[in-house]
Amino acid sequence: MRILVTAIVSKRPKSFAIELACGSEEGADVALRLEVQFPGRTIARNAMLGGQWGADETSVPYFPFTPGQPFKCELLCEHERFRVTVDQQNLCGFCHRLQPLHSINSVRVRGDLRLTKVT
């Protein structure tokens, strides 16, 4: 599975999130949540299983998002983890917490950005 999200960050962003979920309703399991916070320049990854969020993972080598600028974020599902790239540069990984992976059927994008394409 490969998801490519193309968007433009708002000019005065606070945050945005991209989620791979098991359904579109609130409370559905989330296999990966990538949450970008501009005030602290943090990028957190997490999963929600059975209504409970796990521990955030926040270590990243750089902060690739700029207010008012476009980006391409690729979420690639590998054997043991998701790999996240932004503008074709590796950003981070996130080991699978949710099984089975074939139950992922939704992409949610929300927050301070203008979505241009999801493929």
**Model confidence band, residue 2 (pLDDT cutoffs 50, 70, 90):** very high
**Which of 64-96 are b and which e, b meaning 16 or more Cβ less than 10 Å from the residue's Cβ?**
bbeeeeebebbbebeeeebebbbeeeebbebeb
Q: Give φ, ψ of 55 to 5 degrees.
A: -80, 135
First and final CA of the chain: distance in angstroms? 11
Average pLDDT for 44-71: 97
Q: Report the SS3 class of residue 4.
A: strand
Residue 24 has pLDDT above 90, yes or no: no
Provide the sign of the torsion angle of the four alpha carbons 45, 31, 101, 89, taken in this order: negative
Does the structure show a pLDDT above 90 at 49?
yes
Instruction: Judge whether 33 and 45 are in contact, CB under 8 Å.
Output: yes
Q: Which amino acid is residue 59, in one-letter code?
A: S
Instruction: Please work out, in degrees rounded to the nearest 5, the angle formed at the alpha carbon of residue 35 by the alpha carbons of 116 and 86.
Output: 55
- pLDDT for the residue numbered 100: 93
pLDDT class for 56, splitting at 50, 70, 90?
Answer: very high
pLDDT band at 12; cut points 50, 70, 90: very high
Domains of the chain plus CATH, in order, are 2-118 (2.60.120.200)
State the pLDDT at residue 116.
97
Rounded to an integer, what distance in angstroms lies between the CA atom of residue 36 and that of residue 15?
5
What is the pTM (predicted TM-score) of this model?
Answer: 0.95
pLDDT band, very low/low/confident/very high, at 26 (cuts 50, 70, 90): confident
